[in-house]
C-alpha cells in the first residue's frame, strides 16, 4: 500500500516556490551544473534543494546519469503541476496589473492562416481601437487544438480552429466554444472566365489548374470527397499551399481555381478580387471554435478579446448567437 504524504508536516511548512523554480530549471537544463549557472547559485545548493524535495516527497524525482539528469515519472508529475502553479501566479499578477490599469495586458493567439485572413482582422481592428494598450501576439499554427502543445503548455492563451473532428477528440482538459459555422466554396479570380457563370457543374472543373491545401487537410479532403461522390477524377493539382494570400494573389492574376472557406471571401482584404463560383460541393459546414485550457484563469485582456470574437462572429458572419459546445 502506498504511503500517504502528510501535507502539513512534509509539504505545507517546508515546500517553497523557490524550490519548485530550482527543480523546474534543473529539468529544463538537463543538469545540476547548468541549472546552477542559470540561477546564479552554487551546484551544491541546487543539489540540496532537489534532495530536500525528494526527501519531503519520499520519491526519486530525477534519474542521474553521465549525460545529466532526467525527470522520473514522479518528477514529470511535479513539473507539470509546478508549471500550472507558476502560470496561475503569473496570471494573478497580470490580473492585479489589469485591475489597476484595465487597458493593458497581453493576449497570445494561435490559429490557422485561413482564420487569420478572415475573422481575425476585424476582431483585431475593433479590439485594438478599444484597448490600444493591449499587446496581441498571433502565431500561425496547423490544427492547434489537437496537435499543438502550446495551449496545454500555456504559451498560448487562446486558439481558433475549425472543428473537423468530434468534440470528444479535443480532450477533457479543453473548453471549446462554437463561434460560427463556415463552409468550403470553390473560388476563382473575379476576372476569370468562370466568374460570370450562373451555374457550374463540378465535372467542368476536373481539368482546370487547381491550388489545393496539403493532403489530409480539411479543404483538401472536402474537395476530394466531392469529386469522388460524382465518380470524377481528382482535379489537377498545380500548387499545394495553406497560404490564403498566395492563393488570392494568384487567382487575381491568373486562371487558377481553389477552394477557400466562405468567411475568407466575406472578410479577406482581397475579397473584391475573388469570386465564389456556383458549384455544389454537397459538403456540410464546419464549426469555427475558440479553445481555451479548462480550469485556467484567463487574464482580463484575454477575456475581453474572446468577447470581441463573439461579437464579430455574430455581427459580421451573421450567424446565430454562439452556443457553448458540449463537453
- Enter the C-alpha cell of residue 165: 473532428
Contact 119, 147 (CB under 8 A): no
- Enter the C-alpha cell of residue 193: 472566365
Tens digits of pLDDT across the chain (327 residues): 445 555 455 555 567 788 888 999 999 999 999 999 999 999 999 999 999 888 888 889 999 888 889 999 999 999 988 888 888 888 888 777 766 676 788 899 999 888 888 889 999 999 999 999 999 999 988 765 556 678 888 889 999 988 876 655 566 788 889 999 988 999 999 999 999 899 999 999 999 999 998 888 888 889 999 999 999 998 888 999 989 889 989 998 899 999 999 888 887 656 678 899 999 998 888 889 999 988 888 888 899 999 999 998 887 555 444 344 444
Three-state secondary structure call for residue 109 = strand
Give pTM, 2 decimals: 0.66
**C-beta atoms surrounding 27 within 10 Å:** 19
**C-beta atoms surrounding 267 within 10 Å:** 20
Domains, the chain, in order of start with CATH, read 7-84 (1.10.10.10), 101-182+286-315 (3.40.190.10), 184-276 (3.40.190.10)
CA distance 221 to 308: 31
Q: How far is CA 54 from the centre of its chain?
A: 36
Mode of pairing for the β-strands spanning 62-65 and 68-71 = antiparallel
CA distance 22 to 27: 9
Contact 130, 146 (CB under 8 A): no
Buried b (16+ CB within 10 A) or exposed e, 238-259: eeeeebbeebbebbbeeebbbb
Contact 107, 136 (CB under 8 A): yes
Distances in whole angstroms, Cα of residue 276 to Cα of each of 32, 35, 285, 286 = 60, 57, 16, 18
- Enter the C-alpha cell of residue 177: 466554444
Amino acid at each position: 500500500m502506498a504511503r500517504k504524504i502528510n501535507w502539513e508536516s512534509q509539504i505545507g511548512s517546508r515546500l517553497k516556490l523557490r524550490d519548485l523554480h530550482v527543480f523546474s530549471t534543473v529539468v529544463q537544463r538537463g543538469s545540476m551544473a547548468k541549472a546552477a549557472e542559470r540561477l546564479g547559485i552554487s551546484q551544491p545548493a541546487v543539489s540540496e534543494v532537489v534532495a530536500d524535495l525528494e526527501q519531503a516527497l519520499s520519491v526519486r524525482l530525477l534519474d542521474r546519469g553521465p549525460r545529466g539528469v532526467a525527470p522520473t515519472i514522479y518528477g514529470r508529475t511535479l513539473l507539470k503541476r509546478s508549471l500550472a502553479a507558476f502560470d496561475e501566479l503569473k496570471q494573478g499578477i497580470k490580473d492585479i496589473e489589469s485591475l489597476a490599469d484595465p487597458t493593458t495586458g497581453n493576449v497570445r493567439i494561435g490559429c490557422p492562416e485561413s482564420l487569420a485572413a478572415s475573422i481575425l482582422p476585424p476582431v483585431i481592428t475593433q479590439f485594438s481601437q478599444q484597448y490600444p494598450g493591449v499587446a496581441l501576439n498571433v502565431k500561425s499554427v496547423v490544427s492547434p487544438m489537437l496537435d499543438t502543445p502550446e495551449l496545454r503548455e500555456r504559451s498560448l492563451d487562446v486558439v481558433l480552429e475549425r472543428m473537423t473532428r468530434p468534440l470528444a477528440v479535443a480532450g477533457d482538459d479543453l473548453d471549446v466554444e462554437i463561434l460560427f459555422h463556415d463552409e468550403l466554396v470553390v473560388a476563382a479570380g473575379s476576372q476569370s472566365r468562370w466568374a460570370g457563370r450562373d451555374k457550374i457543374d463540378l465535372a467542368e472543373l476536373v481539368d482546370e489548374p487547381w491550388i489545393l491545401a496539403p493532403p489530409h487537410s480539411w479543404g483538401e479532403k472536402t474537395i476530394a470527397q466531392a469529386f469522388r461522390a460524382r465518380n470524377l477524377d481528382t482535379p489537377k493539382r498545380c500548387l499545394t499551399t495553406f497560404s490564403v494570400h498566395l492563393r488570392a494573389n494568384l487567382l487575381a492574376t491568373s486562371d487558377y481555381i481553389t477552394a477557400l472557406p466562405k468567411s475568407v471571401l466575406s472578410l479577406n482584404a482581397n475579397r473584391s478580387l475573388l469570386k465564389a463560383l456556383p458549384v455544389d460541393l454537397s459538403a456540410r459546414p464546419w464549426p469555427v471554435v475558440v479553445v481555451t485550457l479548462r480550469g485556467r484563469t484567463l487574464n482580463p485582456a484575454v477575456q475581453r478579446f474572446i468577447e470581441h470574437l463573439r461579437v464579430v462572429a455574430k455581427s459580421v458572419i451573421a450567424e446565430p448567437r454562439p452556443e457553448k459546445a458540449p463537453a
